[in-house]
Amino acid sequence: MERLPRRERWLVTLGVMLTMFLAAVDGTIVATALPAITAELSGFTLYPWVASIYLLVSAATVPIYGRLSDIHGRRRLLFLGIGLFLLGSTLAGLARTMEELVLFRALQGLGAGALLPLSQTVVGDIYTREERARMQGYFSSVWGVSAILGPLLGALFVETLSWRWVFYVNLPVGLLAAALLALYFREEPRPESHRVDWLGAFLLTLGVAALMLGLQEGRAQGWAEPGPAGLLLLALTLLAAFAWQELTFPEPLLPAELFRNRVILFSNLGGLLAGGVMAVTSFALPIFVTGVLGESVGLAGAAIAPVSIGWPLASTLCGRIGLRTGFRATALFGGALSAAGAIWFLFIGTATGYAYLAAGSFLIGLGLGFTTTGFLIEVQNAVPWHMRGIATASQGFVRQIGSTIGLGVMGAVLFSRTVAALQVRHPDAFLALHGGQGALDAVNRLLDPLGRQSLPAGLGPALADALTDGVHAVYWVTLVAAVGVLAAVVHLPAGPQRVAVPAAGGGQAGGEGGGAS
């Protein structure tokens, strides 16, 4: 890729950061406004689908956008993603029913699948290895800012304007990002002809959608139920067919070289497990704060906020330290911090204060910042230009799958261990609730301030004690995942890795973006 002048690179960087902000802020801002949306559109039964359909579609399309960008260039695919995301945002803001909103959120997700992976790929293209490492801290800070701004903006729009503005606000941000990229981001023409693996894309999309939906329904209904079991079986069948298609198609969507590359293989395995650590921390801690400590939802959010502080801080340090020590060392340090954070949470109880919870969240945030940034840079450094899009997308893809699997495992462990602890430690309370399903219904009431007051005397402390045991079991699982991250890092090659040289005719000249080292 042609070396961009310094001023133009910074303007492209700003456009990319705004694009990443669109994807990063969506979850928090919509989650804040969702109760108001549900109340106005009278669609409580479709409440989970407003978020789920967005995640399903975006996760399924991430690898597709990554591969297509390697064939057709980042620019046009990034514009397509921004355009679809803004169109979906506009229509979502105009939705008159919950069914319409779910449909338009799917359209948003179709665009969102391009925003984050292609933004990170552009960073890999326009900066050298050394510059890229330093810039990752700035890009990680986008997530920290969005974690803080999202809930604030969501509450502000709901209280002063309308929930529809949580979608309309994307328009000026997205249009500014598109304008900056259109004016200053240039790519060399790519005259080579390619065959696009559309059948592989179709099989992957349906397979991933069935997998994520099966995991979500299994968490809600139980893994042995016909619906979740059937979805998981369908997912395995479709993904097996996808694997066969990739082995036989001349230009596969996921080239086999990715799986033979030791750096990418173990970085993605570590990213998969890190995604689970991230999701479990984000969801298990608020349950503990509201259900065991009896605190407000606001304090629950404040308890996990330090994750968004530690993550960008560690990403910035990772970029600087990794250039001297190698990113394997920083990822190893991050895995150790995540494991320490999981151990930290094993000692929480009914007398635990906010400072202790915030410190544990900060530890895990630091760990995730060091590991995920190290994995991303290692992956981008391991491949030439013509594979960087799919390689970068693979990191985001496995983290999203890891988060979904992590939530599924968390739900199963939390529910089963809570019921078992109640049955063993408080048998009278267990009998009074008429068994496991009654116990879970009572826990739902425990999580709601008004419902907690309606519980019979003496039942609340028994439920809180059992729920504490369930949360401890969840963090044992988190510890296992963090140790798994460490094991993946150990298998990465030691020392700084050089960028692979592209094969003749396999990509743009130079291979390394921005005048590679």
Does residue 176 carry a pLDDT above 80?
yes
Alpha-carbon separation of residue 393 from 96, 179, 485, 492 (angstroms): 34, 24, 19, 19
Q: According to the model, what pLDDT value does residue 160 have?
A: 83
With respect to residue 136, please indicate whether it lies within any of the assigned structural domains: yes
Q: According to the model, what pLDDT value does residue 313 have?
A: 82
User: Alpha-carbon distance 230 to 226, whole Å?
Assistant: 6
Is 299 strand, coil or helix?
Answer: helix
Residue in the block written with tokens 């826990």: 443
pLDDT confidence bin for 216, thresholds 50/70/90: low
With respect to residue 82, please indicate whether it lies within any of the assigned structural domains: yes
CB 70 within 8 A of CB 389: yes
Which of 175-179, 448-452, 458-462 is predicted with the least confidence, judged by mean pLDDT? 448-452
Q: According to the model, what pLDDT value does residue 483 have?
A: 92
User: Alpha-carbon distance 414 to 82, whole Å?
Assistant: 38
Q: According to the model, what pLDDT value does residue 431 have?
A: 66
Does residue 363 carry a pLDDT above 80?
yes
Q: Averaged over 422-439, what is the pLDDT?
A: 70
User: Alpha-carbon distance 471 to 32, whole Å?
Assistant: 24
Q: According to the model, what pLDDT value does residue 402 have?
A: 81
Residue in the block written with tokens 């450094």: 381
What would you report as the CA-atom Rg of the chain, rounded to the nearest whole angstrom? 23
Q: According to the model, what pLDDT value does residue 171 have?
A: 93
Does residue 63 carry a pLDDT above 60?
yes
With respect to residue 35, please indicate whether it lies within any of the assigned structural domains: yes
Q: According to the model, what pLDDT value does residue 292 have?
A: 82
pLDDT in tens, 266-310: 888 888 898 888 878 777 787 788 778 877 766 776 787 788 788
Q: According to the model, what pLDDT value does residue 345 have?
A: 92
With respect to residue 91, please indicate whether it lies within any of the assigned structural domains: yes
Residue closest to 322 by CA, chosen among 499, 142, 314: 314
User: Alpha-carbon distance 189 to 298, whole Å?
Assistant: 51
With respect to residue 83, please indicate whether it lies within any of the assigned structural domains: yes
Q: Averaged over 133-153, what is the pLDDT?
A: 70
Which of 4-13, 270-279, 449-458 is predicted with the least confidence, judged by mean pLDDT? 449-458
Q: According to the model, what pLDDT value does residue 221 have?
A: 64
Does residue 189 carry a pLDDT above 70?
no
Higher-pLDDT residue of 418 and 408 is 418
Counted domains in the chain: 1
pLDDT > 90 fraction of the chain, expressed in percent and rounded: 11
Q: According to the model, what pLDDT value does residue 509 have?
A: 32
User: Alpha-carbon distance 509 to 515, whole Å?
Assistant: 10
Which residues are CB-contacts of 379 (< 8 A; sequence separation ≥ 6)? 263, 264, 267, 268, 391, 392, 394, 395
Q: According to the model, what pLDDT value does residue 302 have?
A: 75
According to DSSP, residue 352 is labeled -
CB 253 within 8 A of CB 64: yes
Does residue 254 carry a pLDDT above 90?
no
pLDDT in tens, 82-129: 999 999 999 998 988 888 888 898 899 889 888 887 887 787 777 766
Residue in the block written with tokens 């590359």: 261
pLDDT confidence bin for 1, thresholds 50/70/90: very low
Q: According to the model, what pLDDT value does residue 430 have?
A: 65
User: Alpha-carbon distance 421 to 418, whole Å?
Assistant: 5
User: Alpha-carbon distance 102 to 395, whole Å?
Assistant: 27
pLDDT confidence bin for 516, thresholds 50/70/90: very low
User: Alpha-carbon distance 20 to 115, whole Å?
Assistant: 6
With respect to residue 383, please indicate whether it lies within any of the assigned structural domains: no
User: Alpha-carbon distance 134 to 447, whole Å?
Assistant: 42
Does residue 377 carry a pLDDT above 90?
no
CATH number of the domain residue 67 falls in? 1.20.1250.20
Does residue 486 carry a pLDDT above 80?
yes
- List the domain range (segments joined by +) for residue 118: 1-186
Does residue 355 carry a pLDDT above 80?
yes
| Mean of all residue pLDDT scores within the chain | 77
With respect to residue 470, please indicate whether it lies within any of the assigned structural domains: no
With respect to residue 131, please indicate whether it lies within any of the assigned structural domains: yes
In three state form, how does the secondary structure of 50-119 look? HHHHHHHHHHHHHHHHHHHHHHHCHHHHHHHHHHHHHHHHHHHHCCCCHHHHHHHHHHHHHHHHHHHHHH
Q: According to the model, what pLDDT value does residue 497 have?
A: 45
